[in-house]
A = this chain, B = another copy of it.
Amino acid sequence: MNLKELSQNLGLSQTTVSRALNGYPEVSPTTRRRVEEAARTFNYSPSTRAKGLATGQALAIGHVIPLSSKHEMVNPIFGDFIAGAGETYARHGYEMILSIVDDASERRIYEGLKSRRAVDGVVVHGPRMDDPRIGLLQALELPFAVHGRASGYGKPYAWLDVNNRSAFKRAADFLFDLGHRRIALINGLEVMDFAHRRRDGYTASLQSHGIDPDPALMRSGEMTEVFGYQSTRDMLKPDNAPTAILCSSLISALGVRRAIEEKGLTMGKDVSVITHDDALSYLQNGGDVPIFTATRSSVRDAGRQLAEMLLNAIADPHMTPQTQLLEAELMVGSSTGPAPRKD
């Protein structure tokens, strides 16, 4: 069923039917109702392609997900982020189109989306330090919004980020208050902008407490369970093992806990752990009482909001880029406690 057939069926012109369906005022309430009802019974919706062609809009947003080329790792937060963004799109009648792409071909993908006019805008995932994509997208004049930020890029652009620096500073401060002095950091890859900022917050806290960061207590890698486990096992070996660990991901934190318990130590007593928690739907941090003390910020909310920002920017292209900084909340669980006394 298409517009032509529907309008013939109703004895109206295509114009009138189209206007009735799109809420234009120059249609009497009676006809509008008649048209809407017919559309429903014939199960008619306008063809996306034809509509897009006629209006010049794509009514679609592109998400380009980078695939870490080394380990072929798909970021585990991406499912929940997408779920949030998808909600927003659905509400506004937009479609989400997805490309998962290794770093090498990313540029070509953006150019393709632009020249094929496949999307009205894109969301940039996983920004790195000095990420070249932002410059590229501005040059292409393709509207975009970044989940995270790219330190080192000069001009303004739309982004939404967790305040990673303050979250990790606050977490480290919290550990200092509990009496910890040797605090380790198990971080994501530090080419990633978020990891860099977390490290910044961590070192800032150390320094404000008069402690020099010890390279032996800082690890950086892809945030798997095994990575958390191995890093922790290594660090717990020497005499001056850390009494507390700051961890960048709940998945790695599971490995941290495993290494601690394997050593016969108790988490929250012998070694305190704070992790960042993206509030992923399939990885809840315990039940009512969180297992891990965590800096928490829902990545699904982030998806919802960033999508909203991008749609705004598309609706009004002359707007100055919106930005939004979310503060993570510190949720105290049972994985932290006072630093053990040295005997």
Which residues of A are at the interface with B, using a C-beta cutoff of 8 A? 1, 43-50, 52-53, 58, 60, 65, 67, 71-76, 78-80, 82-83, 86-87, 90, 95-101, 111-112, 115-118, 222-226, 251, 254, 257-258, 261-262, 280-284, 286-287
The contact sample of 13 A-B pairs, CB cut-off 8 A, is A45-B112, A45-B115, A45-B116, A49-B117, A73-B281, A74-B282, A86-B100, A87-B100, A97-B97, A223-B282, A226-B284, A226-B287, A261-B262
User: Which among A72, A86, A282 has the highest number of chain B CB atoms within 10 Å?
Assistant: A282
| B117 pairs with A48, CB closer than 8 A | yes
Q: Bound complex: CA of A49 vs CA of B116, how far in Å?
A: 8
| A83 pairs with B79, CB closer than 8 A | no
| B75 pairs with A79, CB closer than 8 A | yes
| A76 pairs with B117, CB closer than 8 A | no
Main secondary structure of the interface of A (DSSP, over half): mixed
Q: A91 → chain B, closest Cβ, in Å?
A: 12
Query: A46 to chain B: which residues have CB within 8 Å?
Result: 116
Q: Bound complex: CA of A96 vs CA of B224, how far in Å?
A: 27
Query: A223 to chain B: which residues have CB within 8 Å?
Result: 282
Which of B43, B72, B82, B111 is in CB contact (< 8 Å) with A100? B82
Q: Bound complex: CA of A135 vs CA of B188, how far in Å?
A: 45
Query: A75 to chain B: which residues have CB within 8 Å?
Result: 79, 282
Q: Bound complex: CA of A116 vs CA of B251, how far in Å?
A: 40
Query: A71 to chain B: which residues have CB within 8 Å?
Result: 281
Q: A295 → chain B, closest Cβ, in Å?
A: 19
Contacts A45-B115, A97-B97 known; 15 new A-B pairs at CB < 8 A? A45-B116, A47-B116, A47-B117, A48-B117, A49-B52, A67-B83, A74-B82, A75-B282, A76-B280, A95-B118, A96-B97, A97-B98, A225-B283, A226-B286, A251-B282
Query: A52 to chain B: which residues have CB within 8 Å?
Result: 49
Query: A65 to chain B: which residues have CB within 8 Å?
Result: 83
| B97 pairs with A95, CB closer than 8 A | yes
Q: Bound complex: CA of A100 vs CA of B88, how far in Å?
A: 11
| A86 pairs with B115, CB closer than 8 A | no
Q: A97-B97, A99-B86, A251-B283 are in contact. Are A44 and B117 (CB under 8 A)?
A: no
